């Protein structure tokens, strides 16, 4: 029995190693120009990977301790059919008996190998221990690993039209993973379709987090996870209960893919097909910008974002993008809560039609109410000020409805979206000051956006009114804001100003020839993961680029998380010191 178990474990490890080497082969295949014979040898190896995977998958169902989840069975069945079809397709296409002629280049073969790797990777056992890495350290480490992998991929010869330096590749990968959008080389001309695809994948992973993807695939096939794993994931998946962590992750993935798919469809039909040479380019453009908009990434395959000729007056396209990054900036818990509220409204309406009473208190929770009101208030005021400040400036070339959409876009994109329809450097000074504030505030919490977040800004504002009225607690909607939320909000505000301040000082040292306004704008944009620039990003020195890279990473995970990753948590003790007031003003 023991030898049988050892044999099964060996087969599992061997299958994973084979699929991993197959994935490396695909990267090599796409990343370098290969000779026909090498392509044939790689195809032979891909087929070997599929054969090993078929044997391993079948053997799993003869293992008594393996849980056979219904979803996993369906996936395995479809994957087996697909693998067999791919293998048969290769042999069936053979027209001569030359040994390598049967192994011709086929995209479906590579797709099958990638699916094989996903399946084998999900079977690995990861026993995460909080004593080794706390959740904050795990989060920071996961971002660094993805950034380094992305950097290596962007350095591949076929990823760029001309050679890119390591610093520029690192900057681009960091900007994509940290969903910022600042660029040192033009995405549209410097990167090939392969390079742009790598950037798009990095944006998607950065927006959702590699831990979200890896943990859900593991749960999908295994149906469970250790308590330590769930505890770590609950801190990065916005789950309030450890037991609901995988339900929350599943909801995040469904919301993301649904909104991005709908956005891609609307973008596809709002853009003139004549702008593209093939339908595949049209589809790629739609998918890329749907992902970039929802993840608040700020990347575009256009030379000057949507300020490019042929797109700056396409208001239907801009409306789709605007709605997409608004939804992405609300945050997954709020979007999920709003869906629940809409369901409740429909059920309540049908109950009234049937003369029945149906009532559920607080379907729209306090977090959603506070952030929605703050978001709408900031958006409305920002739109009004932007419209007034820029009416005879950047809005002058637009008219009527166009002015409204452009002003909405211009006042909304600083809150972490990064895509632009106007020249940022051409804005009036008063508007730039408004953009500074909007970048600093950012999007809602638990979203793909950056900044200190709308909830932090709301708590700070409510605290001012509370103190002005002589109250010793913050109350709203007949609820009291928890003390830990207030302390966290003010810690985030203080740390954000410290991080941005240090960024400005360091960038002034490395690139002193740049004007202070542009440097400050760059640092605010980097830390708040916005992606807007006054045009100095590409001209920064290597040391300056490293400063912005650090700012983007710290801004994405927040400086508070970095500090939590460095300092060891102390055990809570059941005592309390006497309190004393400190002179403040």
- DSSP letter for each residue of 269-286: HHS-GGG-SSHHHHHHHH
Ramachandran quadrant class, 162 (left: phi over 0; alpha: psi -120 to 50; beta: rest):
beta
542, 393: one domain:
yes
404, 537: one domain:
yes
Compute CA distances 397 → 86, 100, 370, 548, whole Å: 55, 61, 37, 33
pLDDT of residue 39: 75
Q: Tokens standing for 546?
A: 């490293």
Phi, psi of 93 (to 5 degrees): -80, -10
116, 197: one domain:
no
Considering the domain boundaries, does residue 554 fall inside one? Answer: yes
The residues that bridge with 305 in the sheet, in sequence order, are 303
Q: Of the residues 122, 147, 179, which one is the last residue of a structural domain?
A: 122
Q: Tokens standing for 258?
A: 């649904």
445, 541: one domain:
yes
295, 400: one domain:
no
102, 223: one domain:
no
CB contact set of 290 (below 8 Å; sequence gap of 6+): 260, 261, 263, 264, 267, 324
Q: How many CB atoms lie within 10 A of CB 142?
A: 19
The CA-based angle 154-157-162, given to 5 degrees, is 90
Q: What domain range is 17 assigned to?
A: 2-122
Considering the domain boundaries, does residue 356 fall inside one? Answer: no
Considering the domain boundaries, does residue 335 fall inside one? Answer: no
Q: Of the residues 278, 298, 327, which one is the last residue of a structural domain?
A: 327
Phi, psi of 210 (to 5 degrees): -65, -30
Q: Would you call 213 exposed, middle or buried from its count of C-beta atoms within 10 A (0-12, 13-18, 19+)?
A: middle
Phi, psi of 479 (to 5 degrees): -135, 150
Separation CA 388–CA 1 (nearest Å)? 79
98, 156: one domain:
no
| Cα 36 to the center of its chain, rounded Å | 37
Considering the domain boundaries, does residue 340 fall inside one? Answer: no
Separation CA 337–CA 357 (nearest Å)? 22
110, 154: one domain:
no
Separation CA 61–CA 59 (nearest Å)? 5
The residues that bridge with 479 in the sheet, in sequence order, are 476
Separation CA 184–CA 175 (nearest Å)? 10
Helix or strand (DSSP H, E) at 438: helix 429-441
- Nearest CA among 310, 305, 325 for reference residue 535: 305
388, 531: one domain:
yes
Considering the domain boundaries, does residue 578 fall inside one? Answer: no
Considering the domain boundaries, does residue 347 fall inside one? Answer: no
Report helix angle 483-510 to 454-468, nearest 10: 120
- Nearest CA among 557, 365, 584, 546 for reference residue 455: 365
Considering the domain boundaries, does residue 413 fall inside one? Answer: yes
Helix or strand (DSSP H, E) at 12: helix 2-31
Compute CA distances 575 → 485, 567, 578, 579, whole Å: 22, 22, 10, 12
Separation CA 376–CA 385 (nearest Å)? 14
**DSSP label at residue 124:** S
41, 97: one domain:
yes
Q: Of the residues 122, 152, 182, which one is the last residue of a structural domain?
A: 122
Helix or strand (DSSP H, E) at 460: helix 454-468
- Nearest CA among 168, 126, 125, 127 for reference residue 150: 168
DSSP-derived secondary structure for 151-210: HHHHTSGGGBSS---HHHHHHHHHHHHTT----SS-HHHHB-HHHHHHHHHHHHHHHH-H
CA dihedral 420, 426, 427, 428 (to 10 degrees): 180
Domain count, the chain: 3
Q: What is the pTM of this model?
A: 0.85
CB 293 within 8 A of CB 419: yes
190, 112: one domain:
no
292, 409: one domain:
no
Considering the domain boundaries, does residue 147 fall inside one? Answer: yes
Average pLDDT, the chain: 82
Helix or strand (DSSP H, E) at 382: helix 366-390
In a structure prediction context, what are the per-residue pLDDT tens digits for the chain, which is 585 residues long?
557 667 777 777 888 888 888 888 888 877 777 777 777 788 788 888 888 888 887 877 776 655 556 666 777 788 778 888 777 776 665 544 444 444 444 677 788 888 888 777 766 655 555 556 667 777 788 888 889 999 999 998 888 888 899 999 999 999 999 888 888 998 888 899 889 999 999 998 888 766 565 555 555 444 445 545 555 555 555 555 545 566 677 777 888 888 999 999 999 999 988 888 889 899 999 999 999 999 888 899 988 888 888 888 899 999 999 999 888 888 878 888 888 888 888 887 777 766 677 777 777 888 888 999 999 999 999 999 999 999 989 898 888 888 999 999 999 999 888 888 888 888 999 999 999 999 999 888 878 788 899 999 999 999 998 888 888 888 888 888 888 888 889 999 999 999 999 999 999 999 988 899 999 999 999 999 898 888 899 889 999 999 999 999 998 888 888 887 777 776 767 777 888 877 776
The overall longest dimension of the chain from CA atoms, in Å, is 90
pLDDT of residue 322: 92
């Amino acid at each position: 029995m023991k030898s049988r178990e050892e044999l099964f474990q060996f087969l599992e490890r061997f299958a994973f190693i084979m699929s991993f080497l197959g994935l490396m082969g695909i990267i090599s295949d796409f990343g370098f120009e290969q000779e026909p014979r090498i392509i044939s040898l790689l195809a032979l190896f891909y087929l070997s990977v599929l054969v090993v995977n078929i044997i391993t998958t079948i053997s799993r169902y003869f293992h008594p301790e393996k849980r056979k989840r219904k979803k996993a069975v369906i996936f395995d069945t479809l994957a087996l059919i697909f693998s067999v079809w791919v293998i048969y397709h290769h042999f069936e296409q053979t027209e001569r008996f030359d040994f390598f002629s049967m192994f011709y280049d086929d995209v479906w073969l590579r797709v099958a190998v990638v699916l094989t790797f996903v399946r084998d990777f999900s079977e690995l056992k990861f026993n995460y221990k909080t004593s080794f890495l706390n959740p904050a350290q795990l989060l920071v480490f996961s971002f660094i690993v993805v950034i380094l992998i992305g950097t290596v991929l962007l350095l591949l010869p076929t990823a760029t039209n001309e050679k890119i330096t390591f610093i520029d590749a690192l900057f681009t990968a960091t900007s994509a993973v940290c969903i910022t959008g600042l660029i040192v080389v033009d995405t549209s001309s410097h990167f090939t379709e392969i390079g742009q695809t790598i950037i798009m994948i990095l944006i998607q992973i950065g927006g959702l987090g590699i831990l979200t993807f890896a943990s859900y695939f593991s749960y999908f096939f295994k149906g469970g996870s250790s308590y330590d794993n769930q505890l770590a994931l609950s801190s990065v998946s916005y789950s309030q209960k450890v037991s609901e962590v995988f339900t929350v992750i599943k909801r995040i993935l469904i919301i993301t893919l649904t909104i991005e798919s709908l956005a891609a469809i609307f973008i596809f039909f709002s853009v003139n097909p004549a702008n593209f040479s093939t339908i595949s380019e049209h589809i790629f453009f739609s998918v890329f910008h749907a992902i970039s908009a929802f993840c608040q990434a700020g990347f575009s395959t256009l030379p000057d974002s949507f300020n490019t000729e042929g797109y700056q007056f396409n208001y239907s396209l801009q409306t789709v993008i605007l709605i997409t990054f608004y939804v992405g900036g609300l945050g997954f818990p709020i979007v999920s809560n709003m869906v629940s509220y809409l369901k409740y409204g429909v059920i309540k309406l049908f109950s009234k039609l049937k003369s029945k009473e149906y009532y559920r208190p607080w379907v729209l929770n306090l977090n959603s109410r506070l952030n929605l009101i703050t978001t709408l208030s900031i958006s409305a005021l920002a739109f009004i000020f932007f419209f007034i400040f820029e009416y005879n400036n950047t809005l002058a070339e637009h008219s009527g409805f166009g002015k409204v959409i452009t002003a909405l876009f211009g006042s909304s994109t600083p809150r972490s979206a990064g895509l632009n329809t106007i020249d940022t450097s051409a804005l009036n000074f008063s508007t730039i000051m408004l953009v500074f504030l909007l970048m600093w505030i950012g999007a809602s919490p638990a979203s793909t956006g950056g900044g200190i977040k709308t909830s932090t800004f709301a708590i700070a504002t409510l605290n001012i009114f509370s103190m002005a009225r002589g109250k010793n607690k913050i109350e709203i909607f007949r609820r009291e804001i928890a003390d830990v939320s207030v302390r966290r909000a003010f810690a985030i505000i203080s740390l954000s100003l410290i991080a941005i301040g240090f960024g400005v000082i360091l960038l002034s040292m490395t690139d002193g020839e740049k004007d202070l306004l542009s440097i400050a704008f760059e640092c605010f944009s980097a830390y708040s993961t916005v992606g807007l620039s006054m045009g100095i990003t590409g001209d920064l020195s290597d040391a300056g680029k490293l400063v912005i890279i650090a700012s983007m990473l710290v801004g994405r995970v927040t400086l508070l998380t970095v500090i939590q990753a460095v300092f060891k948590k102390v055990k809570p003790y059941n005592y309390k010191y006497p309190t004393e007031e400190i002179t403040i003003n």
